[in-house]
Chain A
Amino acid sequence: MPEIKVTPLGAGQDVGRSCILVSIAGKNVMLDCGMHMGYNDDRRFPDFSYITQNGRLTDFLDCVIISHFHLDHCGALPYFSEMVGYDGPIYMTHPTKAICPILLEDYRKITVDKKGETNFFTSQMIKDCMKKVVAVHLHQTVQVDEELEIKAYYAGHVLGAAMFQIKVGCESVVYTGDYNMTPDRHLGAAWIDKCRPDLLITESTYATTIRDSKRCRERDFLKKVHETVERGGKVLIPVFALGRAQELCILLETFWERMNLKAPIYFSTGLTEKANHYYKLFITWTNQKIRKTFVQRNMFEFKHIKAFDRAFADNPGPMVVFATPGMLHAGQSLQIFRKWAGNEKNMVIMPGYCVQGTVGHKILSGQRKLEMEGRQILEVKMQVEYMSFSAHADAKGIMQLIRQAEPSNVLLVHGEAKKMEFLKQKIEQEF
């Protein structure tokens, strides 16, 4: 039985951040380097002192692997590489490499500019950090050094998300990051071959959920949008740009067509260009359906969805607008929000998690009076809704993955051990 050591790095029982150290046959690999989104102080960073006590990080660690661009998996990377100090290779997939810096910069802007924090990484640090990144392709065996090799597998979940196999000689570990076993409108399902790792490390936070069907969530989303538009209101959907926005567009377009609706739907142009660019680059990362449509036409050539112009926000009458950024913390989506917030006929639908300190987070927490620049108070009368389409594997999904990979051992990473006994027994029973 090979000795493989796994050490989650962080303060206390952490369900909010991923950063795992794996020691396998003398090699040390760090899996993900996430920020804990709930804390405002140093607790948000993983505790690297555990490894620094062994000497310099660059000497100790053979490589760092980042599974996907969500901040709870990569948010602490610039801090780690530039402020704590690491010069070794950082591996991630191509889409992750392209998207990470955008999210990190956004996050930095909010934390430093909006909240005035000082112990935080700078824009230059993000750039320097990304210079250390080596992008990998799916199923490509990457030789980190003579003994250590890694391979990325498709994980679904978000664009570019991957599960990684780490192999040294005949010992191997598979780390899943976040994954999804059910395909959605724009991403496929996670897949791995029968690689039979000695250890499979998977997060089991969502193992206990029985998710309601996508059809229902979509139906409710469309109902809300429809109701608002019918009464003459405007719907603002702040989006990050990739993936989810795509899905929602396709959803609305189909609905508009079926119901013969006339209200305009807009997509902010900056978004369109960026998204198109990324999709062209990463078309292999989306699912079959999208690839087929892309071949036939431009991603954003929708019949009912047009490019947005700032002036349209003042047009009377109903409309739906997709605008960046996703957490309403700056830019166009915030501008539009300020114009529309005072009217109760309007609605804003947040399609994802919002970092603390952003307007998005505040209104989702129930705040209805916001302090804007120049001490101006904005009263929020518009309806605030939240709709999460992001998917994680549930118990069924975890079982499916185990069936595919056939590991000898499974490690469930979760906050409370006693809440995992049932899943543990379930896995033991079947395998």
Chain B
Amino acid sequence: YRDLHTFELQAPTRLIEWARGNRVCVAGYGQSDGNEILQLIPPPTLLTKETQGLCPERDFKVECGGFSERPVYSLKYVPDTSLLVTSGPPDSSLQVWQVSAEDSDVIKSVSTIATENGTGQSWAKIATISARAPWVLHGSRLDRVQITEVESRKNVYTAASRGSEELSSLAFLDCNTLLLCCATGRLCLADIRQPQSLVEAMSVPSAPWSEQWCMGTRHGAQGLEPSSQPVARLSSRGLLTLTDLRKTSEFLALAKAKVPSPGSGAEFLCVSWAPVLEGYLAVSGFDGTVHVYDTQSWDSSGREAEPIFVHKGHTFGGAGGSRDPPLVTVHTWHLQKPRTLLSAGSDGSLHVWDWVQPCGKC
């Protein structure tokens, strides 16, 4: 490591979202009432480009917080507004919140975006974009995908139905193109200007036992065509596929992450591309570690890949042997510092770490 900071949140989080002004947001997902949504100001060590080491200000500061009655499983800021949207069980409705850090340090609940036949469904996955108006893309199943305008709560688009599989994540590729990933691994592209069409990408290799999939898309790369960035899909068995959306009939690459098998289920599966380092991605959710891989040497053989770096910090957390070791619930890359990541564990730990490139690779 070049740097490692460990923090302890009062309650574990399964999301880490970046907000304007280098803020970071986390939220509790406990079953009982009183889950907190916290918008944090990272310590100055994280904000500066150069690592400072013994900096006097090393702590996160809670800038503002809110209380959610339901567990918060997903949270997205709505760009160009002071709003954010959350979702979580027991149904697929969304909660809209207002953040006004200058006036008060409370994140206020503003409204709810209900969904048709909302009850009985699992929680909605969400994505937001700064488009013509503040939109939120959401849905829990493939046949329930819609875009809602956040402030007016008006429905703007509903995707054509192509099955009722559960979704694991969705994303805006640009303001007209959506990417939907099902838990089965099925990947679909949709153009909102043509609501009836849904383009399918290559399915994932089928397996004798069921596995769950999630995806990671690369954003933040300036000036690059969003569709030119490969989409990564990760399975609960550790399989990783990379797909070029311009050529969806074949895999760009196929590899296996070096993770324990059988894994711990798919609840916290997370794969993400590095915003700065070309071709690097991170994987977590199998145990208390986060793996970093360099995909540039990968081919389509499905071979096991060797991680460039493994963050094991969360495994050393815990109060002792009697409890199960914590699982990493989520991780994210720092948007500017190339090798800095943040990761959270099911024991409430929050780590910020900066790894050193091993020798021989520059």
**Bound: A155/B96 CA distance, A:** 41
Q: A422 with B106: in contact, given A213-B7, A216-B6 (CB under 8 Å)? A: yes
Q: A418 with B105: in contact, given A211-B7, A349-B54, A429-B67 (CB under 8 Å)? A: yes
Could you tell me if A224 and B53 are in contact, using CB atoms closer than 8 angstroms?
yes
Closest chain-B Cβ to A58's Cβ sits at a distance in Å of: 41
**Bound: A425/B38 CA distance, A:** 13
Contacting residues, chain A, for B10 (C-beta < 8 A): 395-396
Q: A216 with B61: in contact, given A421-B105, A429-B67 (CB under 8 Å)? A: no
Stretch of A144-152, A192-200, A290-298, A382-390 lying at the B interface: A382-390
**Set A211, A220, A395, A429: member contacting B54, Cβ < 8 A:** A220
Q: Is A369 an interface residue (CB 8 A)?
A: no
Closest chain-B Cβ to A422's Cβ sits at a distance in Å of: 4
Q: Is B131 an interface residue (CB 8 A)?
A: no
Q: Is B56 an interface residue (CB 8 A)?
A: yes
Contacting residues, chain A, for B40 (C-beta < 8 A): 210
Give residues in A with beta carbon < 8 Å to B. Answer: 208-213, 215-217, 219-221, 223-224, 349, 364, 385-388, 395-396, 418-422, 425-426, 429-430
Could you tell me if A385 and B54 are in contact, using CB atoms closer than 8 angstroms?
yes
Could you tell me if A220 and B53 are in contact, using CB atoms closer than 8 angstroms?
yes
**Bound: A420/B64 CA distance, A:** 9
Q: A219 with B62: in contact, given A420-B105, A425-B106, A430-B34 (CB under 8 Å)? A: no
Could you tell me if A215 and B6 are in contact, using CB atoms closer than 8 angstroms?
yes
Residue of B55, B59, B64, B105 contacting most chain A CB atoms (<10 Å): B105
Could you tell me if A212 and B58 are in contact, using CB atoms closer than 8 angstroms?
yes
**Bound: A421/B64 CA distance, A:** 9
**Bound: A213/B103 CA distance, A:** 31
Could you tell me if A395 and B58 are in contact, using CB atoms closer than 8 angstroms?
no
**Bound: A364/B57 CA distance, A:** 13
Q: Give the residue name and chain of the B residue nearest to A420 (CB).
A: B105
Q: Is B4 an interface residue (CB 8 A)?
A: yes
Contacting residues, chain A, for B8 (C-beta < 8 A): 210, 213
Dominant secondary structure of chain B at its interface with chain A:
strand
Query: 6 extra interchain contacts, Cβ-Cβ under 8 A, other than A209-B60, A216-B6, A421-B104?
Result: A208-B63, A211-B58, A215-B6, A216-B58, A223-B53, A224-B54
Could you tell me if A212 and B43 are in contact, using CB atoms closer than 8 angstroms?
yes
Interface residues of B in 39-86 (CB under 8 A from A): 40, 43, 53-56, 58-67
Q: A212 with B7: in contact, given A421-B105, A422-B105 (CB under 8 Å)? A: yes
Contacting residues, chain B, for A396 (C-beta < 8 A): 10
> CB-CB contacts of B1-43 with A at 8 A, as 1s and 0s?
0001111111000000000000000000000001010001001
Dominant secondary structure of chain A at its interface with chain B:
helix
Q: Is B350 an interface residue (CB 8 A)?
A: yes
Closest chain-A Cβ to B342's Cβ sits at a distance in Å of: 13
Residue of A208, A386, A419, A429 contacting most chain B CB atoms (<10 Å): A208
Contacting residues, chain B, for A221 (C-beta < 8 A): 54
Closest chain-A Cβ to B286's Cβ sits at a distance in Å of: 24
Could you tell me if A387 and B54 are in contact, using CB atoms closer than 8 angstroms?
yes
Closest chain-A Cβ to B341's Cβ sits at a distance in Å of: 15
**Bound: A16/B79 CA distance, A:** 37
Closest chain-A Cβ to B62's Cβ sits at a distance in Å of: 4
Q: Give the residue name and chain of the A residue nearest to B10 (CB).
A: A396
Closest chain-A Cβ to B312's Cβ sits at a distance in Å of: 14
Contacting residues, chain B, for A385 (C-beta < 8 A): 53-54
- 23 of the cross-chain contacts (CB-CB < 8 Å) are A208-B105, A209-B60, A209-B61, A210-B7, A210-B8, A210-B61, A212-B5, A212-B6, A212-B43, A212-B58, A212-B60, A213-B6, A213-B8, A216-B4, A216-B5, A216-B58, A220-B53, A386-B55, A386-B56, A421-B105, A421-B106, A425-B106, A429-B67
Q: Give the residue name and chain of the B residue nearest to A214 (CB).
A: B6
Closest chain-B Cβ to A212's Cβ sits at a distance in Å of: 5
**Bound: A385/B53 CA distance, A:** 9
Q: A419 with B105: in contact, given A209-B61, A210-B61 (CB under 8 Å)? A: yes
Contacting residues, chain A, for B59 (C-beta < 8 A): 209-212
**Bound: A213/B60 CA distance, A:** 11
Could you tell me if B61 and A208 are in contact, using CB atoms closer than 8 angstroms?
yes
Contacting residues, chain A, for B65 (C-beta < 8 A): 422, 426
**Bound: A221/B66 CA distance, A:** 35
